[in-house]
Amino acid sequence: MNKKGYIKNGKNNIYYVISTPQPQSRIKTAVIFVHAANSNRLGPHRMFVELAQRLSRNSIASMRFDMRGCGDSTGQPAKQIQNDIEDLLCSINFFNLHYKPEKILLFGISSGAKVIFETLAKHNVPADGCILLSIPHSSGKTALKSFTARLKEYLYKFKNPQSLKKILTGKANIMQIFRTLAFALNIRSRYQDNSDQNFTTTCPLFFIYAAKDPIAAASRHHYTRICKKFAIPNKINVIKNANHSFFHYKWKEQIFDETEKWIMEN
């Protein structure tokens, strides 16, 4: 069963979709999805939708929402991570208040995973675990690698006659391409690391990285160090041959399998 609506967060209306397997029964476990910047509640290649459906079959509820200025939410896209954190906290509080699940897990990808991590560092969040995909470390070196990788992906796509035809006929979303490249360059300023000084919520973390993500190695080292410093339980998996957004269905299936297994173990 799906319920759709808006949550009032200041001047913004945050659009959400909540999936409950059995609305009459008490929700034992729920997953709240956090999308990356310039994306929406569907997740990359509908990853969040497909995983929510799969979790529902295992009696796990879920919530997907659009950050301000994204998807069907109102307002302007966030310029600082604090705005994203506010939207996430608002969504968690709303779900907790109306559904009272026994356990809440957070699932984020890329900058969405970064939002989750920084939220845990600053706030006492009622989270019992987090799945963090392709979480980036905010550094100048990471930003440059991210930009270069995204640029190579677009150049590769443009070799395809159909993709090239879309550009020449004006059917390609050129502005979205520029926004994606600009975001990659600005990742350091928007998502500065503040978690080295403090960590409030120390629930178990499950990191999933892509082997062919150019920022994976440095990011993995950074977050491993922080988890060790604050004694945060954690697990790391690397998906072979995958890229940053895990676009292939085989990689998504592997993520789904690993996520379900980790949820059951925790």
pTM: 0.83
pLDDT in tens, the chain (266 residues): 889 999 999 999 999 999 998 765 788 999 999 999 889 999 998 999 999 999 999 999 999 999 999 999 999 988 888 999 999 999 999 999 999 999 999 999 999 999 999 999 999 999 999 999 999 886 555 555 555 665 566 665 566 676 556 655 665 555 655 555 555 555 555 555 556 678 899 999 999 999 999 889 889 999 999 999 999 999 999 999 998 889 889 999 999 999 999 998 88
Domain boundaries, the chain: 2-137+195-265, 139-190
| Burial group, residue 198, by CB count within 10 angstroms (0-12, 13-18, 19+) | exposed
**Which residues have C-beta within 8 Å of that of residue 47, sequence separation ≥ 6?**
109, 246, 252, 255
What are the tokens at 216?
């994976």
Neighbouring C-alpha atoms within 13 Å toward the C-beta of 195: 28
Cβ neighbours of 240 (radius 10 Å): 9
State the architecture of 2-137+195-265 in CATH terms. Answer: 3-Layer(aba) Sandwich (3.40)
Sign of CA pseudo-dihedral 200, 201, 204, 208:
negative
Task: Show the tokens assigned to 105.
Answer: 């897990």
